[in-house]
Structure 1
Amino acid sequence: MKKFLINMSKERKTIKIIEKSNEVETFNNKEIFLLFVGELLNRKKILTMLNLDDKTTLNITLLLASYKKWGIKLLNMLEGQFSLIIHNKNTNTLYIAKDKIGIQPLYFTSMNNTISIGSHVKEFYKVDEIQLSINPNALANYLQFGYILQPQTIFKECYKVQSGEYITFDLIKNNKQKTKYWLLESIYNEKKIVQNESIILNTTHNLLQKSVEENRLTNNHGLSLSGGYDSSTLVAITQQQSEKKIDTFTIGFHENTINEAPHAKAISDYLGTNHHEYYFTAMDALKFIPKMSKVYDEPFADHAASPTMLTAKLLKEHNIKNLIAGDGGDEVFATAEDVHFFNKIATTPTFLKKLSSLPLEYIYIDKVPFLKNYNNLPKKLDKLKGVLNAKNIAHMIQVRNSIFLEKELKQHIKDYNQPIVTSFDAITFGEHSETVDEIIGTYFKTTMTDGELVKSYAAMNHQGITLSTPFLNVNLIQYMAKVPASIKIKNGIKKYLLKEISHLYLPKKLMDRPKCGFSIPLSSWMKNELKDILYSQINKKRLDEDNIFNSSSIINIRNQFYAGNEAYKYKLWRIFIFQLWYENFTININKG
């Protein structure tokens, strides 16, 4: 597992390594301290630029030479997934930086005359000067989305370094400054490519092939295979590039409506991979869901987290060191839902939207006994009002994806007072971006970065497996951002270019089928196999002891769900996952 925690005394201006795994590289002399963990995909290119030997040069040596030549601008040169810390002792400057996409986690806090930096924020309790406490406003953000958006964390005064960002600490003046060295929106704001479709398709195909080759980090690599376009295309390209059968892995379900395993098996048979499949059951859920709190640094309620943890376990059992996964396919190649809806709202004059939302201010559905629990009606009306009043598409998506009303959060969480500032608030697009760009760009910077990538990276890292994401190659992203929306989604066909690439390897009739999506029978499991453990986490005694939630309102959510109201399913799930996480966190604190 890649893991580190360091602490800097602002007064002595010295760094103490509290813990680090073998994968973490460091360099330290009288002038500079460097810490690096991750993968450099363009290592050979930088070695050539610096006239260094590939066989004898460690990554940390390469980065030291790069910093001496380019200073902090070296970040613009690096491609891959990494965390980088540089302490320039001559200038008393500390830099902490994260890769452009934000694949690898990096946290920091600055309090009590100390700066702590690490890969796992929940382990900051190991620093004597730090007292971790739950941030009620961040907890509200978690309940809304199922994860906590950059730059916040679940703890007060602890933050995430954001994607494509470095933070400069001036140790003399005792201040810090954030700098974005790579910004997704700026790419979408560039002029669109004016080329014919065949050239665009060929260029995209070549970029994807190159990315897959770069992301095959070891000979012991495997791929997740769902049978959908994203994973199937990656498997097809990887198998073509390999001299032997590659290993593919599928998680199936006995519930036919959500089971994609037969489709994955058909793809595997056609391509001739060494295929492994495992059917995830309620007993597996009972085993893995309580362990999520040990894998994920913060409360994390993605329904696919536990099957992803199982995948990681299977990979380890088969001696797989590197998982090549399809994260980012929807965002890079454009699975943009409701384009017409968003475009219509965005282009409607502000005064008309305000006029339309005005009557909703005076409709109090939640005061009507029959209607307040009917088909989630109060939340739907509140969302409609929020969408009409949103200042841009990013905020429309933020409103649509949240599951609690603001007044509900104030009712449920003690000491909650206002929403936190997140990546949603910083998203801005320019004149050359299209509606499709704004939709997929927003999901890229929120759901994909803080949801999908966290889910995959944490599960793999926990088992010592390196995650590779070919769709998130920066060159591919930058090219696709300049492809017109009319080609990304052509004649209503989403991910048109990716599908055309896929059809070069796989028969169209094998691929064209309704998409199931990766899901689990959540409601059934909570009502049966998980019920006892859920009640052990959500009861008056436990809630009163924790003193985080208002016990009566949380128990009402539990009771409404078990009375048959499915509208409370996801709300209850997120509270349940938080309770499991918080219990594990307090156990670790007490041990510490």
Structure 2
Amino acid sequence: METLGNSGEKKSEMCGIAGYTGAGDESILKNMIQAIKHRGPDIQDTFIQANLGLAHARLSILDLNPGGNQPMFSSDRKIAIVFNGEIYNYISLKKELSNKYEFHNNTDTEVLLYLYKEHGIKMLDKMKGMFAFAIYDFEDQSLFLARDIMGKKPLYYTTTNSCFVFGSELKSILKHPKVTKELNIEAVNQYLTFDYVPTPNSIIKNVSKLEPGHYLVVKNNHVVIKEAYWQHNFTKNDDITFNNASEKLDSLLNNATKKRLMSDVPLGVFLSGGLDSSTIAYYAQKNSSNRIKTFSIGFEDKSYDETNYAKQVAQHLDTEHHTGILTQNKTLELINKIYKNIDEPFADASLIPTYFLSEFTKNHVTVALGGDGSDELLAGYPTFVSNYFTQPLASLPNAIPSALLKMTNGLMKVNDNNISLDFKIKQYLRGFLSKKNHIHQLWLGSFTPDEKKRLFKPEVYASLQDNTGLNIIDSHFSNANKEWSNFDKITYYYYQTYLLDDILVKVDRASMLNSLEVRSPFLDKDVVEFVNTIPQKYKLKGFSGKHLLKKMMENKLPQNITSRSKKGFGIPLSQWIREDLKEEITSILLSEDSYFNQNYIQHILKEHFDKKRNHRKLIWNLYLLKFYMINNNLI
């Protein structure tokens, strides 16, 4: 949430929200909000009346002015809101409303109350920002919930026989005694391939995530409306020249970054030395009268370390740069700390360095800007380039790529370096072990359908409604506009899956566990809507993604920064699984459970330990799943 201080500058707050309609009481509501206290440790406020509970956890970036406390009510007490996020255009919205409504504080939350009073659900068309909120209309006796267009702020919900329950995190919802804590085996199946549970599902049966750009209305404890209020539009502006597109993107990114710099508190930028974070650092320094603070982390293993690039950019931009080193001992220490606090299994190992970066950054600032979203918007992942070669291979019978994969496994020596050549080739071939629409997910994810068939016990596998766990991919492609190109459909798929449930979840959980707010200029609404309309050839040229961004930044950043290939934010997991984590992982994976085939697990462990295969993705994925199940009594 943002507030406007006496100085005329914005003050920001981070929040967690929770609540219910129907059955519940004050102790239940307090337990729900305490479960997400880390999202707002300063104040936890609640409102209770018959059949309604609203709760809010507030972390004030600057002060604790009680006028900004939530739940917040309209002056006539007919509307109440709990809100998590920031509305970047709230000042202009307030001006539009000020002729009709009297405002009593300087928060964007109060603006939303009167925006709803004036426009109802149509208020969503006017909002620009990152948010998840719930508004209760006492006259209509309805609860209205919504989530921002890209899903930057999380929102879970469930309906039981006697209540509707919602919260910023799953752990909050599970504190309500009417919510049954039962493992969702279909979600487990999806997680094993995706490395996360894709929206709208959650790891707990009957608990859902609200999709980005959607709202729902609840009456009598039941969802009566659930609809999209915004959708991606890939209609191309084929008349725009490359130079005009570059100038437009330059202006939009500059404005998006400038809006996110407004703060009365110390603010910094995550700077890995890659193109995306360096771009944001450039615009942040350009719009700041003082040297901005930039933050990067390094690793002892040089194949994973990029601190020299970050230092080069910091020197070029003259930022106040800070570097932390994530040691092996520190990483091993963080594993239990992080994964005991994550509310769903999440196997992207870059969560660990992202957590450490957030922890390190929080020692200096309270708000940080990041470069997330650029790879999805501008085709930055190697998989977009790999898509060029899918047509001939995708038409082959599965037996051929399967044979090629078997051959490379025999011929290519296992290499533990970050995104090594043998890893890329083998992961690429795995993509063709399912149908065309599934290729990108198999490139990105862990278990293939055949591997899951071997992993699950026969009776569990037979019980699955979707034994591949990939039907959700088909639904995303079928939801895509038939007029869109295949490239745009793939971009849309990345928005709805990898960006939403991996990248944004990783950043949200890592930063929130450290009470750090992270803002993402690349995911500004105006930036997203513009980039969706530019021709594919401006994004992808030859074997290079992010062509437009690279050309736009080539005179603003060092040449080797704009031309270097994407590295990723990894840790030497393969080696650690064989060494320091071996005992812990073996103990967890070979513990008895009702779902998995122990012989197959022993097989993949032995191949990895003997360095015959690099099974780090499979082992890490399954380890974190079983760790979660044991920790949450779901085994």
SS at match of 2:359: helix
Residue 499 (str. 1) matches residue 550 (str. 2):
yes
Q: C-alpha separation between the residues in 2 aligned to 1:408 and 1:429?
A: 29
- Structural mapping, 1:338-487, within 5 Å: 342=387, 356-357=396-397, 383-387=431-435, 390=436, 392=437, 395-413=438-456, 415-416=460-461, 417-419=464-466, 422=472, 425-427=475-477, 428-430=479-481, 433-487=484-538
Match of 2:84 among 37, 44, 50: 37
Q: Per-residue displacement from partner, 1:538-563 (whole Å, max 9, x unpaired)?
A: 23xxx32x534343433333233223
Residue 132 (str. 1) matches residue 181 (str. 2):
yes
Residue 179 (str. 1) matches residue 230 (str. 2):
no
Name whichever of 529-538 and 480-489 sits farther off: 529-538
Match of 2:271 among 222, 225, 237: 225
Match of 2:363 among 317, 336, 342: 317
Q: C-alpha separation between the residues in 2 aligned to 1:7 and 1:88?
A: 14
**Which residue does the alignment assign to 1:281?**
327
Q: Per-residue displacement from partner, 1:235-268 (whole Å, max 9, x unpaired)?
A: 1111111111111111111222221111111111
In the TM superposition, residue 13 of structure 1 has moved relative to its aligned partner by 6.9
Residue 239 (str. 1) matches residue 285 (str. 2):
yes
- Structural mapping, 1:50-199, within 5 Å: 50-51=97-98, 56-171=105-220, 174-184=222-232, 187-188=233-234, 190-199=235-244
- Matched AA of 1:81: M
On the 8 A contact 1:8/1:116 being kept in 2, the answer is yes
In the TM superposition, residue 432 of structure 1 has moved relative to its aligned partner by 5.1
Q: C-alpha separation between the residues in 2 aligned to 1:359 and 1:519?
A: 32
**Which residue does the alignment assign to 2:627?**
580
- Matched AA of 2:276: D
SS at match of 2:71: strand
Scaled by the length of structure 1, what TM-score is found? 0.87
- Matched AA of 1:16: G
Distance 1:167 1:535, change over 3 A: same
Q: C-alpha separation between the residues in 2 aligned to 1:271 and 1:422?
A: 44
In the TM superposition, residue 423 of structure 1 has moved relative to its aligned partner by 6.1
In the TM superposition, residue 10 of structure 1 has moved relative to its aligned partner by 6.8
Unmatched 5+ stretches in structure 1: none
**Which residue does the alignment assign to 1:3?**
16
Q: C-alpha separation between the residues in 1 aligned to 2:113 and 2:286?
A: 37
Q: Per-residue displacement from partner, 1:424-445 (whole Å, max 9, x unpaired)?
A: 6224443653343233332222
Q: Per-residue displacement from partner, 1:139-184 (whole Å, max 9, x unpaired)?
A: 1211112111100111101110111111222328x45332011122
Distance 1:433 1:221, change over 3 A: same
Distance 1:216 1:582, change over 3 A: farther
Distance 1:412 1:243, change over 3 A: same
On the 8 A contact 2:353/2:570 being kept in 1, the answer is no
On the 8 A contact 1:10/1:171 being kept in 2, the answer is no
Name whichever of 140-149 and 11-20 sits farther off: 11-20
Q: C-alpha separation between the residues in 2 aligned to 1:60 and 1:530?
A: 46
Distance 1:317 1:22, change over 3 A: closer
SS at match of 1:169: strand
Unmatched 5+ stretches in structure 2: 1-13, 25-48, 61-68, 415-421
In the TM superposition, residue 317 of structure 1 has moved relative to its aligned partner by 1.4
**Which residue does the alignment assign to 1:513?**
564
Q: C-alpha separation between the residues in 2 aligned to 1:237 and 1:560?
A: 48
Q: C-alpha separation between the residues in 1 aligned to 2:440 and 2:167?
A: 31
Q: C-alpha separation between the residues in 2 aligned to 1:451 and 1:467?
A: 15
- Matched AA of 1:159: S
- Matched AA of 2:368: L
**Which residue does the alignment assign to 1:292?**
338
Q: C-alpha separation between the residues in 2 aligned to 1:378 and 1:437?
A: 26
**Which residue does the alignment assign to 1:568?**
615
Residue 558 (str. 1) matches residue 605 (str. 2):
yes
In the TM superposition, residue 534 of structure 1 has moved relative to its aligned partner by 1.9
Q: What is the number of equivalent residue pairs in this alignment?
A: 566
Q: C-alpha separation between the residues in 2 aligned to 1:162 and 1:147?
A: 15
Q: Per-residue displacement from partner, 1:499-519 (whole Å, max 9, x unpaired)?
A: 123223223245433443221
On the 8 A contact 1:336/1:440 being kept in 2, the answer is no
Scaled by the length of structure 2, what TM-score is found? 0.81
**Which residue does the alignment assign to 1:26?**
71
Distance 1:357 1:490, change over 3 A: closer
In the TM superposition, residue 403 of structure 1 has moved relative to its aligned partner by 2.7
Match of 1:201 among 242, 246, 254: 246
In the TM superposition, residue 449 of structure 1 has moved relative to its aligned partner by 1.2
Q: C-alpha separation between the residues in 2 aligned to 1:273 and 1:236?
A: 9
In the TM superposition, residue 379 of structure 1 has moved relative to its aligned partner by 9.1
Name whichever of 29-38 and 283-292 sits farther off: 29-38
SS at match of 1:566: coil
Q: C-alpha separation between the residues in 1 aligned to 2:619 and 2:444?
A: 16
Q: C-alpha separation between the residues in 2 aligned to 1:285 and 1:54?
A: 48
In the TM superposition, residue 383 of structure 1 has moved relative to its aligned partner by 4.1
- Percent identity, aligned pairs only, is 26
On the 8 A contact 1:301/1:577 being kept in 2, the answer is yes
Give the superposed CA RMSD: 3.3
Distance 1:538 1:353, change over 3 A: closer
SS at match of 1:442: helix
In the TM superposition, residue 292 of structure 1 has moved relative to its aligned partner by 2.0
Name whichever of 476-485 and 194-203 sits farther off: 194-203
SS at match of 1:49: helix
Q: C-alpha separation between the residues in 2 aligned to 1:72 and 1:147?
A: 31
- Matched AA of 1:357: P
